[in-house]
Amino acid sequence: MDGSNEARSLSAKHQKFRDLAESRTNKALDAIGRIGNLSNRSIYEWDEAEVRKLIKAMKDAVSEVEARFASPKGKASAKFKL
């Protein structure tokens, strides 16, 4: 089955999920890549505690997404701050 036939066979809600999931995941991956660019010591200065805090915030966010898919509930609104 090619992509166009597959899209027609999915419900509208399922197709909307797939479209948004792909778009939002790609944006998140791009943003993570940009965060990784901060590791360049010739441009930026940082200490290990800041890096640990940054990575913990990202891991916590991924864990929260996993939990929400396991048991959907209300939205989270945590913001990252160094």
Domain residue spans of the chain: 1-45, 47-82
Reported pTM:
0.73
11: left (phi > 0), else alpha (psi -120 to 50), else beta? beta
The model's pLDDT over 29-51, given as tens digits with 9 standing for 90+, comes to 999 999 999 999 999 999 999 99
Residue 55 contacts residue 63 (beta carbons within 8 Å) = no
Q: What percent of the chain has a predicted confidence (pLDDT) above 70?
A: 82
